């Protein structure tokens, strides 16, 4: 499947760099660009992107408000916020507005492609530096019953810890000396065993059980 992406950022140089980064892979096509929040809302309606990479600090309309309007109009659109801000309040507000990803600009070169792929698979994606910080705020709201950690094998516990500490599938596969497909299959098995449905829920569970390094 070709992933249609809209880039929204008020700095053209950054948009050019992101376009070059994303279009290195044949699976992604940048279908439009926007230089402010109002233009992002308009271009989203006109071009029907699958994913919007959304800067939060833009003129005329903030990225958060643009995200709220876009996802309300079309809940199928996946928004990955792009920001220089490492702040719990900003992240939570962005996710509440409808974004399903949050990537720090300083790590965009390393994480943006992974973020786009994850959100297209129905997952949430947070930069590794903010995963634990944000998910601690959600622990009290998690309704999912989960198997106690003693029911997990040592291999499953190791995978759970690596995921919860912010490692993506590529990093885990490299560290364990296996393929990315193997890690993804193990992750699906782990989620099924714990009755959890996303990486975010896996991380919540790991934090609650004291399995993270944070």
192: confidence class by pLDDT, cuts 50, 70, 90: confident
CATH of domain 3-127: 3.40.50.2300
Q: SS3 letters for 46-65?
A: HHCCCEEEEECCCCCCCHHH
Question: Interhelix angle for 154-164 vs 180-194, to 10°?
Answer: 100
- What is the pLDDT, as a whole number, of residue 107? 81
CATH architecture of the domain formed by 135-208? Orthogonal Bundle (1.10)
For the cut 80, the answer to whether the pLDDT of residue 45 exceeds it is yes
4: confidence class by pLDDT, cuts 50, 70, 90: very high
Q: Which residues contact 20 (CB under 8 A, 6 or more apart)?
A: none
Percent of the chain topping pLDDT 70? 87
Beta bridge partners of 54: 8, 81
For 140-163, the pLDDT digits (tens) are: 555 554 555 557 788 888 888 888
The more confident residue out of 70 and 106 is 70
As a whole number of angstroms, the distance between CA 120 and CA 210 comes to 30
For the cut 80, the answer to whether the pLDDT of residue 136 exceeds it is no
- What is the pLDDT, as a whole number, of residue 164? 79
Domain with CATH 1.10.10.10 in the chain: 135-208
For the cut 90, the answer to whether the pLDDT of residue 19 exceeds it is yes
Task: Find out whether 132 and 161 touch, Cβ atoms under 8 Å.
Answer: no
Least confident of 33-47, 75-89, 163-177, 195-209: 195-209
Domain with CATH 3.40.50.2300 in the chain: 3-127
């Amino acid at each position: 499947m070709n992933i249609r992406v809209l880039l929204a950022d008020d700095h053209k140089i950054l948009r050019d760099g992101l376009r070059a980064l994303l279009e290195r892979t044949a699976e992604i096509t940048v279908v439009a660009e926007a230089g402010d929040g109002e233009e992002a809302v308009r271009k989203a309606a006109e071009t029907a992107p699958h994913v919007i990479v959304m800067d939060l600090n833009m003129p005329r309309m903030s990225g958060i408000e643009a995200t709220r309007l876009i996802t309300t109009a079309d809940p199928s659109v996946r928004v990955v916020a792009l920001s220089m801000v490492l702040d719990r309040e900003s992240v939570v507000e962005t996710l509440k507005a409808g974004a399903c990803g949050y990537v720090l600009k300083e790590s965009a070169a390393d994480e943006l492609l992974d973020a786009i792929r994850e959100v297209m698979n129905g997952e949430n994606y947070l930069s590794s530096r903010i995963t634990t910080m944000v998910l601690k705020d959600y622990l009290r709201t998690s309704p999912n019953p989960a198997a106690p950690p003693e029911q997990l094998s040592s291999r499953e516990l190791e995978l759970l810890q690596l995921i919860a500490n912010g490692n993506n599938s590529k990093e885990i596969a490299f560290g364990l000396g296996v393929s990315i497909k193997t890690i993804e299959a193990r992750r699906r098995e782990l989620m099924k065993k714990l009755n959890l449905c996303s990486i975010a829920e896996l991380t919540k569970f790991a934090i609650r059980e004291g399995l993270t390094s944070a």
